[in-house]
Structures are given as structure tokens and as C-alpha cells.
Amino acid sequence: MAKERIALFGGTFDPIHLGHTGVAARAVEHIGAQKVVFIPAKRSPLKGFLPVASDEDRLRMIALAIAGSASFEVSDCELRKAAPSYSLETVRQFQTDYGGESSLFWLIGADSVDDLTHWYRITDLIDTCVVSTMYRAGCEPPDFTRFEPIWGRERVEKLRKNVVETPLIDISSTEIRSRLAAGDDADDMLHPAVADYIRERGLYRSKAAL
Ligand code: ATP
């Protein structure tokens, strides 16, 4: 019997937006995965700043955004750890939890491709799971050719084969935070329940939050 496929989607989700859920919906279909698990990070090891919203708020916004989507789940496994975690450690944790019964995919947006060389033990991550790269509005289609001399042909071929042509949804959390800090709304970029939650809690209102 074919192994169950699970896609893991890490990020700061500060806040989660319709770009995240839109591309994840396409990825789950393309991969033939049973589900996508959204995994908010305590902080991004590569972003020079902390998330603006608290761990709890980010987690709750994800729960609101995915409620009603049978193939979406959220995990707080990275938030529960004291130190920031790396994707490789999270994948290994899921491998242990699922006992080898599942094939794991790690989703990234095309904007992350340039950063990959800075990821913690990136070659181990590529070997341990299937890194699936999704298209992102404003970015070139993912191209891994330049990594061939350092990662080798097989890994680059694996990355190339697992690109997912997701719809181009021109939304970023940065744009949402900056609109909200300017006193504007960002309702067109957010799930309505997330937009309400942000309003009720007065999140992202301060310019210092940028
Ligand atoms: P920020 O603007 O704060 O950097 P972001 O919108 O890029 O945030 P993250 O939480 O950092 O969101 O993203 C998590 C993952 O989702 C990353 O791999 C990112 O590339 C991907 N991603 C985010 N938005 C999109 C989008 N609109 N289309 C495709 N991928 C996306």
C-alpha cells in the first residue's frame, strides 16, 4: 500500500494570510497528500527580527484560518520548544511520531530558494524529506541549477522534480502588517475570521511593529 503523504508547512505566519492557504490547497492536491500541517516557528532563524504577534495569537489565527478545511491541520510543536527549531529537526520529529508510515514533504515558497544555502543542514533536509517549492508572485519560477556544484546533481534533480506550480497570490505578511500599522485594513488578504481577530485584539497597529 502506498505510504500516506503529509506536507509540512513551516513559517512565521505573522499573520497567516490567503496566500498561505491558497498555495497550500494547491500543493496538497498536486502532491496527493492527506493533509498539510501548518507549523508556526518561534522565530525564523533567517529573519533578523522576532515575530510581531505572540506565539499564542499566531497559533490562534492559523486555527481560525484553517477551520473548515478538512485537509489542513496546525501543530504547535515548534512553539513548545524553548529554542528556535530547524526544519530538519521538525521533520525528524514527525518521522518519529509517524513511525515511518508516511512520506513527508516540506513546503517552501519560491522566495526562500535564495536562502536555502543558509538553512541548517540543508542537504540532510533535502535527503530526509521531499522539499517542495511553490511558485510565489513577484519571484522567478524556482531554479536550482546554481546549487548543483555544491549539492550535487541528484539533490538538484529532486528539488526540480518537486516544484509545485501554485497560483500566484500576491500577498505577504509584511504588506499586511504595514497596511495595519498605517491604519488601513487588509481584509482582502485575510480569512474573515482572522481579520476579525486582528481587529478585536488590536494587533499590528503600532508602527514599531514593522
Ligand atoms: P513576511 O512578509 O513576514 O516575510 P510571508 O508572507 O513571506 O511573511 P511566512 O510566514 O514567512 O510569510 O511564509 C511561510 C512560507 O510560506 C515561506 O516558505 C514563504 O515562502 C511561503 N509563502 C508566504 N506567502 C506566500 C505566497 N503568497 N505564495 C507562495 N508562498 C508563500
pLDDT reported for residue 169: 97
Local confidence band at 151 (pLDDT 50, 70, 90 cut-offs): very high
Tell me the three cell numbers of residue 51.
Answer: 515575530
Distance separating alpha carbons of residues 20 and 6, to the nearest angstrom? 16
pLDDT reported for residue 82: 83
The fraction of the chain above a pLDDT of 90, given in percent, is: 88
**Residues in Cβ contact with 61 at an 8 Å cutoff, skipping those fewer than 6 apart:** 13, 15, 16, 53, 194, 197, 198
> Could you tell me if the CB of 162 is within 6 A of ligand 1?
no
Per-residue pLDDT of 47-85, as tens digits, reads: 778 899 999 999 999 999 999 899 999 999 999 998 878
pLDDT reported for residue 157: 98
Question: How far does the centroid of ligand 1 lie from the alpha carbon of residue 109, in Å?
Answer: 6
Rounded to an integer, the average pLDDT of 144-156 is 97
Rounded to an integer, the average pLDDT of 154-179 is 97
Please list, residue by residue across 171-197, b when 16 or more beta carbons sit within 10 angstroms of its beta carbon and e when fewer do: bbbeebbbbbbeeeebeebbbeebbeb
pLDDT reported for residue 49: 80
Local confidence band at 3 (pLDDT 50, 70, 90 cut-offs): confident
One of 1.10.3210.10, 1.25.60.10, 3.40.50.620, 3.40.50.12140 is the CATH number of 4-171, namely: 3.40.50.620
Nearest CA to ligand 1 atom 9: 11
Local confidence band at 208 (pLDDT 50, 70, 90 cut-offs): low
Q: If you write DSSP's letter for every residue of the chain in order, what string do you get?
A: -PPEEEEEEEE--TT--HHHHHHHHHHHHHHT-SEEEEEE-SS-TTSSS--SS-HHHHHHHHHHHHTT-TTEEE--TTTTSSS---HHHHHHHHHHHHTT-EEEEEEEEGGGGGGGGGSTTHHHHHHHSEEEEEP-TTSPPP--GGGHHHH-HHHHHHHHHTEE--------HHHHHHHHHTT---GGGS-HHHHHHHHHHTTT-SGGG-
Per-residue pLDDT of 88-118, as tens digits, reads: 999 999 999 988 789 999 999 999 999 999 9
Q: Which of 39, 59, 136, 139 to mutate to test the pocket of ligand 1 (most atoms within 8 A of CB)?
A: 136
Nearest CA to ligand 1 atom 30: 109
Residue pair 136/113 in contact (Cβ under 8 Å)? The answer is no
> Could you tell me if the CB of 86 is within 6 A of ligand 1?
no
Question: How far does the centroid of ligand 1 lie from the alpha carbon of residue 20, in Å?
Answer: 7
> Could you tell me if the CB of 109 is within 6 A of ligand 1?
yes
Per-residue pLDDT of 9-27, as tens digits, reads: 999 999 999 999 999 999 9
Question: How far does the centroid of ligand 1 lie from the alpha carbon of residue 52, in Å?
Answer: 15
Share the mean pLDDT of the chain: 94
The answer to pTM > 0.85 is yes
> Could you tell me if the CB of 115 is within 6 A of ligand 1?
no
Q: Which of 8, 16, 18, 20 to mutate to test the pocket of ligand 1 (most atoms within 8 A of CB)?
A: 20
Residue pair 190/15 in contact (Cβ under 8 Å)? The answer is yes
pLDDT reported for residue 132: 98
pLDDT reported for residue 207: 64
pLDDT reported for residue 43: 84
